[in-house]
Amino acid sequence: MGDVAVTITRALELPRIVHLGPNLYGAAFSLMKLLPARHILDRARDDGLLEPGTVVIESTSGTFGLALAMECRLRGRPLVLVSDPAVDPALRRRMRDLGAAVDIVAEPADVGGYQRARLDRLAELCSRHPRHFLPAQYSNPENPGAYALLADELAATLGWVDVLVGPVGSGGSMCGTVAGLRDVLGRDVRAVAVDTPGSVLFGQRDAPRRIRGLGNSLMPPNLEHSVFDEVHWVSDREGFAATRALHRRHALYMGPTSGAAWMVAQWKARLEPDARVVVLLPDEGHRYQNTVYDDTWLRRHGLRLRRLPSRPVEVDTPGDGGPEWSWLRWNRRPLAAVVPKGAAA
């Protein structure tokens, strides 16, 4: 079924490029993680790492697991996904319906939370399945490498890009797309990262987070801090409200990482009217019908925000960022140049 897999997922993996304002464009994906999932599996196949009976094993609580489930089903590959209780039931059902075994860890680790606990379970499963392949989205260089295709698509469609805004989780999509754009366009494309309070990615301390796919409790090797010019921290309430606003204003039914990124990109486009700004909108909103798109759920959890903030608060260090939208001039520095050793979790 390999040819079928290529035909179906290649038809779904690239975004629709939509005009959202005078100088703002959105790359709206059905499922952005199809790009790295297909690319990683193709490279593994070409390198002889996917022999008959090889089990694909990965840790995920979001759409990378769904993308792998789609790819592995079409390729006839066994798949085991390690996740945690935060994965929503609808996504869990869909991955299992595609044939994936979904292993849920019950308790977080003392350091690194559920993501550390999932990686520990991953190691156990690898010992049980000597013939296995780990896509390892957080560390596999083929993850950011997959987004050269997106950079080519943006360049061909728009001609040029001045600023790229996008959410950061594994680091793959933003680091890979920015590198690809700078290479193919031969110009200095600026990169704006969207993170969330309580994420360690850009120097804050680990804390509970409600936005899935945005931020991280562990530092992924694929995240190159020196790629970024700015970092924005968007709260869960703001991200959810922005997701609803994106739907009302542009009829784009997207997930909350898309809403958070769009809110930042809107501000950036207004601030720099002569710059062409592109924002990555990673996935559609169908998984969030009973949460983000449900006013009752938002009120019950104290997450209803009636009005979006018009601008962020600028801070001098990651630790200065409050619970609401803040930003820092990162200026393409490595993490150690911004956060003293031992200052972040």
161 and 43 belong to one structural domain:
no
- 43: domain CATH number? 3.40.50.1100
Confirm whether 343 is domain-assigned.
Answer: no
327 and 218 belong to one structural domain:
yes
Q: For the chain, how many structural domains are there in total?
A: 2
Residues above pLDDT 70, as percent of the chain: 97
Confirm whether 108 is domain-assigned.
Answer: yes
Of 129 and 176, the structure prediction assigns the larger pLDDT to: 176
Q: Which pLDDT does position 3 carry in this prediction?
A: 54
Q: What number is the average pLDDT over the span 168-196? A: 97
CA 39, CA 34: separation in Å to the nearest integer?
8
Q: Which pLDDT does position 213 carry in this prediction?
A: 86
Confirm whether 339 is domain-assigned.
Answer: no
112 and 73 belong to one structural domain:
yes
75 and 209 belong to one structural domain:
no
Closest by CA position to 82, among listed 55, 59, 53:
59
Confirm whether 181 is domain-assigned.
Answer: yes
78 and 193 belong to one structural domain:
no
- The residue out of 133, 163, 188 marking a domain boundary is 133
Q: Which pLDDT does position 177 carry in this prediction?
A: 98
DSSP SS3 for 125: helix
115 pLDDT more than 90:
no
Q: Which pLDDT does position 342 carry in this prediction?
A: 54
Task: Specify the amino acid at residue 43.
Answer: R
Q: Which pLDDT does position 134 carry in this prediction?
A: 96
302 and 239 belong to one structural domain:
yes
Q: What number is the average pLDDT over the span 17-41? A: 97
Q: Which pLDDT does position 345 carry in this prediction?
A: 46
Tell me which residue range forms the domain holding 182. Answer: 2-32+141-334
Confirm whether 162 is domain-assigned.
Answer: yes
pTM listed for this prediction: 0.94
Work out the end-to-end distance of the chain between its first and last CA atoms, rounded to an integer number of angstroms.
Answer: 45
Angle at 106 between CA 104 and CA 109, to 5 degrees: 110
Q: Which pLDDT does position 88 carry in this prediction?
A: 84
The neighbour count for residue 89, using CB atoms within 10 Å, is 9
312 and 224 belong to one structural domain:
yes
86 and 187 belong to one structural domain:
no
329 and 244 belong to one structural domain:
yes
CA 33, CA 224: separation in Å to the nearest integer?
19
CA 237, CA 153: separation in Å to the nearest integer?
32
Confirm whether 345 is domain-assigned.
Answer: no
